[in-house]
Structure 1
Amino acid sequence: MISPGFFSFFNSQRALFTAQTAMNTVSHNISNANTPGYSKQRVEMEAHFAYSAPLLNARQESGQIGQGVTITEINRSRDVFLDASIRQENSILGTNVNLRNVLQQLEGILNEPSTGGINGTIQNLFEAAQELSLNPESTAVRTEFLQQGIDLITVFQQQGQQLQDLRRNLVGEPGIAGSFGVSQLAINVQDINDKLETIAQLNREILAITTTGATPNDLFDQRDLMLDELSQLVDIDVTATASNQINVEVAGQLMVRGVTQLDSLEVVENTGVIDVAFPVPDNDPSLVRTVTGGVTINNLIQDGAVRGILTAGGNGTTTTTVRGVLGDLDTLLTEIATQVNALQATGRDINGNLSPAPIFDLPVGAGLDLFRYQINPTVLADPNLVAAAINDPAATGPPAGFAGPGDGRNALLMGQLRDGAFAGLGNTGFVEYFNGVVANLGIDTRSFENRSDAQESLTTSLDLRRQSISGVNVEEELIDMIRFQRAFEAASKVVQVFDEIVQNIINIQ
């Protein structure tokens, strides 16, 4: 028995198609060498089933005859465990980078480039008080002292407003219409929603293709890229299911289940209503919650850019938060005002009157005291009300206890406040307290800069490992192209020889 005569032709035909598919795949790899998220693809080949099959009625040959090559699948090079590690580290990086960026902005606001900063205006106020102690009868000197108080309040409020603006930009501000929708938090949350929607859409497209038996490698790459980008924004959990589908959880909340986006996120103003099941900080200006489930997830978000924004703009009182630095400035200005007013209340004005109006005035209102302090308009209108003189029981006046308009001893006590230490500031002085705030801020900034650098190095290292697995090496692809080209040429040669044989047979007379 002889074998079917066209085996060589069909074997070569399969070889041609296989080599052509392999070259197309190599060309696809080279074309996408610089495409973000692309994974190199490989054509998996195996020997076609042999002839003849071992059946009872099969032809009996000395052995099975091979029928060439066939393609089993075109797969992509990917390590799912490495992907999971990269996404976890991406989330941590997102937290650190956002906190670093905010801290650097805080440093820029509190930076003291000249005497016009907080330290400089504190010094100027108490130097003016000392000058007043030497010239208590001078209206010009009294006016200058009050002007230095105005300058001090102005600088505090200017820097406070910059901090307030920064916080509003991060998370919005209660009572300011529209501030939540344009905050960085809202922008990042919208980005999360867009990516969740894209992932659900990709799941639908992948399902439609896989049901035909094909493998949508490029769609897998697009979905993995979306997951990588999503992990930079918030911590996620990804679960693979049947038919190459995935489920995605954000902060423990199931957001995408296969082809369906179950929920999305929104940013709303914190009205003070606390979710019993998931309590949130009372003072967080913004709440991140699920739209359908209505679950507040501020405290459930562990990492990612959103976590960094929530921390920096949230209710914390350390120098890693805007609110913490604002609170420090508020504490400092309040202590200065309290100490100056205390001396003002015990002294005598230029006419010997006891307990004149306070120098620092705090109108009743909402919000931080920092933004409501002012120099008392009554004192500002009449600088003679500044109590430069002390209440001296030994002085005969008139009035009794008043040593005369030339007494500047109370103003001297005001000037000496500069070098005092106060319980309200942790037993430190005004300048020392502010320098401590700046120093702590610098320490926190350097810490998060170092953390960010270390985390960036780690994620870069992991990405390089992934590139070694999934990335396209153009030199390797060119070698494969030559290899498959040679296979194609060899198969073509067999077809050519077979064609010549057939032509010779046909031409036999």
Structure 2
Amino acid sequence: MSSTFSGLSTAYSSLVAQRQALEVAGQNIANANTEGYTRQRVSMSAVSSNTVTSLWSSSTATSGNGVTVASLERLSDQFLDSRLRTQTASAAQAEATASTLESLESVVADLTDDTGITTALSDFWNAWQDVANAPDSDSARTVLLGTAETLTIQMADAYNSFESLWDEGRTSVDAYVTEVNTTAATIADLNEQIRGITTSGGSANELIDQRDLLITQLSELTGATAVLQDDGTANVFLDGNMLVQGNSATEIVATGSYGMAAALAEPVSADAVSLQWANGNSLTLDGGTLAGVVASLQPTSEGGSISAAVDAINDLATRVADQVNAIHAAGYAIDGTTTGNDFFAIAAGTPAALGISVAISDTDLIAAGDGANGEYDGSIADAISQLSTAEDGPDSTWQTYIVDLGVATASARTRADSAEATRATAESQQLANASVDIDEEVTNMVAYQRAYEAASRVMTAMDEMLDTLINSTGLVGR
């Protein structure tokens, strides 16, 4: 037969369950603004009545034996989490690519203002035209040498600016690699803690939140993906290989030269910046900030954006030197005797933009004429000045690069903004499912509170009934 005291047990089970549900609601509210926190719910299930027939059992139907907390659920959605990580990786890589191009564009913009390369080229060609108009003017020749010197300085400054961007990117690669390895080791440590708590029957939800947040951060850096295991751990993958497996993590390393010239040399060599596993196997990232930065540091044949800028400025210096020298060498000095002199020189073994210099220091050695039309002939100087409008001249190729860079930057920014919008949508959907809704939690708290109060009232009623049964039975008629 059912125990007279079973009602107390039933009411007590409700008190315990409702109290735990209230505590979980309070935990949710406390972490409403905690990054990475996933809301939790207490899953309750009814405790059934005894179903085994015994010798003295009653045939009267009985109710169940109360309620129990079946589990503490973490309301996450693996699909939404995975989608957010994928979109985060794509957006981060697109942003890194766009940022590099915008930095290059900013440098080029500085080089095209009133004190930049475009202005220096214009002044240089105009100075040649002034010499063509007045071949015997020493002041015009002096101005020409000054504008030529300014042009060489501007080209060297441009090269140094591009090199600074490359150096900054190379330093960032090392920093990101260190962050990846540290994060992977932390995830492995959290995996071990989660597995220990889960197998002992405890709740590791807060630790799982910390781990999943770190996995998302890894996705932003490297495009990492994760696969959850039955024991509560998560395996993290890069390029199809495990970065984290259970409680162990594998490190990655950055290789390649710290010098831009060596790293960008063609054909591509071991000096090029690349990523590897600790065992030496190559690693190619599918997305993330690190992938975008590494891509920008590659040689031109591999699509490196900084290398393309370096090639453009070196090409400009080479064209200026070669085309001016080709015309100047056919001219004659002011005394009509000297010929074959180069106006510019480029140091051997040095990038053209850094190695270019003015080879003439004496204004009398500037070849303004061809020596056949008298002392005041300026045909050579005029021919050099016309290089400013030549189809394959220095100005034309430099302006082509500037236009191409502008188009590439605008396109990259559009892709980055589009990827970020997609990522924001994925994040919004993930947060809608996993984040804490204060209004919902308050509503739940009221429901749990009322249930607790009702269970308390049941216990009080049962206590009063038992008091009557125990203390008043048999006293009637005395």
1:84 aligns with 2:71: no
1:336 aligns with 2:334: no
1:446 aligns with 2:410: yes
How many Å separate the matches in 2 of 1:507 and 1:185?
Answer: 81
Q: Give the match for residue 308 of structure 1.
A: 292
User: What TM-score do you get using the length of structure 1 for normalisation?
Assistant: 0.87
Letter in 2 for 1:375: V
3-state secondary structure, aligned to 1:67: coil
Deviation at 1:69, TM superposition (A): 0.6
Pairing of 1:369-380 with structure 2 (within 5 A):
369-376=352-359, 379-380=360-361
Instruction: State the Cα deviation string for residues 213-254 of structure 1 (Å, max 9, x = none).
Output: 123111111111111110001122322223112221222332
Conserved 8 A contact 2:89-2:220: yes
How many Å separate the matches in 2 of 1:499 and 1:54?
Answer: 28
3-state secondary structure, aligned to 1:74: strand
Gaps of 5+ in 2: 260-266
Q: Give the match for residue 61 of structure 2.
A: 63
Q: Give the match for residue 42 of structure 1.
A: 41
Instruction: State the Cα deviation string for residues 97-134 of structure 1 (Å, max 9, x = none).
Output: 00111111111100056321111111100100010112
Conserved 8 A contact 1:247-1:254: yes
- Structure 1 window deviating more from structure 2 (306-315 vs 349-358): it is 349-358
How many Å separate the matches in 2 of 1:58 and 1:242?
Answer: 45
RMSD across aligned positions (CA): 2.0
Conserved 8 A contact 2:43-2:69: yes
3-state secondary structure, aligned to 1:255: strand
Instruction: State the Cα deviation string for residues 145-164 of structure 1 (Å, max 9, x = none).
Output: 11111111111111111111
1:416 aligns with 2:386: yes
Q: Give the match for residue 490 of structure 1.
A: 454
Deviation at 1:506, TM superposition (A): 4.7
How many Å separate the matches in 1 of 2:378 and 2:294?
Answer: 51
How many Å separate the matches in 1 of 2:334 and 2:229?
Answer: 85
Q: Give the match for residue 275 of structure 1.
A: none
How many Å separate the matches in 1 of 2:348 and 2:41?
Answer: 73
Conserved 8 A contact 2:296-2:303: no
Instruction: State the Cα deviation string for residues 447-494 of structure 1 (Å, max 9, x = none).
Output: 111111111111111111112211111101100000000000001111
3-state secondary structure, aligned to 1:303: coil
Partner of residue 500 from structure 1, selected from 461, 464, 474: 464
Conserved 8 A contact 1:317-1:323: no
Deviation at 1:435, TM superposition (A): 2.2
How many Å separate the matches in 2 of 1:469 and 1:271?
Answer: 45
Q: 1:500 to 1:58 in 2, by over 3 A?
A: closer
Instruction: State the Cα deviation string for residues 317-365 of structure 1 (Å, max 9, x = none).
Output: 5986011011011112211111110111111011223434311111122
Deviation at 1:170, TM superposition (A): 0.3
Q: Give the match for residue 175 of structure 1.
A: none
Q: Give the match for residue 263 of structure 2.
A: none
Partner of residue 288 from structure 1, selected from 267, 271, 275: 275
How many Å separate the matches in 2 of 1:106 and 1:114?
Answer: 15
Q: 1:29 to 1:215 in 2, by over 3 A?
A: same
Deviation at 1:70, TM superposition (A): 0.6
Pairing of 1:205-216 with structure 2 (within 5 A):
205-216=193-204
Conserved 8 A contact 2:80-2:426: yes
Instruction: State the Cα deviation string for residues 382-416 of structure 1 (Å, max 9, x = none).
Output: 12111111143xx6xxxxxxx22x22221111111
Q: Give the match for residue 191 of structure 2.
A: 203
Q: Give the match for residue 133 of structure 1.
A: 132
Conserved 8 A contact 2:298-2:304: no
Partner of residue 193 from structure 1, selected from 159, 181, 193: 181
Pairing of 1:140-159 with structure 2 (within 5 A):
140-159=139-158
How many Å separate the matches in 2 of 1:453 and 1:242?
Answer: 38
Gaps of 5+ in 1: 172-182, 273-279, 396-402, 423-428
Q: Give the match for residue 253 of structure 2.
A: 266
Deviation at 1:374, TM superposition (A): 0.8
Deviation at 1:505, TM superposition (A): 4.1
How many Å separate the matches in 1 of 2:319 and 2:302?
Answer: 19
1:161 aligns with 2:148: no
Letter in 2 for 1:385: L
| Count of aligned pairs between the two proteins | 465
How many Å separate the matches in 1 of 2:169 and 2:368?
Answer: 45
How many Å separate the matches in 1 of 2:60 and 2:461?
Answer: 26
Q: Give the match for residue 180 of structure 1.
A: none
Conserved 8 A contact 2:330-2:339: yes
Partner of residue 111 from structure 1, selected from 109, 112, 123: 109
How many Å separate the matches in 1 of 2:447 and 2:229?
Answer: 37
Letter in 2 for 1:102: T
Q: Give the match for residue 419 of structure 2.
A: 455
Pairing of 1:18-57 with structure 2 (within 5 A):
18-50=17-49, 52-55=50-53, 57=55
How many Å separate the matches in 2 of 1:82 and 1:239?
Answer: 13
Q: 1:317 to 1:153 in 2, by over 3 A?
A: farther
Conserved 8 A contact 2:255-2:275: yes
User: What TM-score do you get using the length of structure 2 for normalisation?
Assistant: 0.93
Letter in 2 for 1:230: L
Deviation at 1:440, TM superposition (A): 1.4
Partner of residue 222 from structure 2, selected from 234, 251, 255: 234
Letter in 2 for 1:452: A
How many Å separate the matches in 2 of 1:315 and 1:363?
Answer: 23
Partner of residue 445 from structure 2, selected from 481, 490, 493: 481
How many Å separate the matches in 2 of 1:414 and 1:75?
Answer: 79
How many Å separate the matches in 1 of 2:158 and 2:197?
Answer: 58
Q: Give the match for residue 436 of structure 1.
A: 400
How many Å separate the matches in 1 of 2:369 and 2:192?
Answer: 83
3-state secondary structure, aligned to 1:267: strand
Instruction: State the Cα deviation string for residues 30-76 of structure 1 (Å, max 9, x = none).
Output: 111111111110110110131x2224557233224310111100111
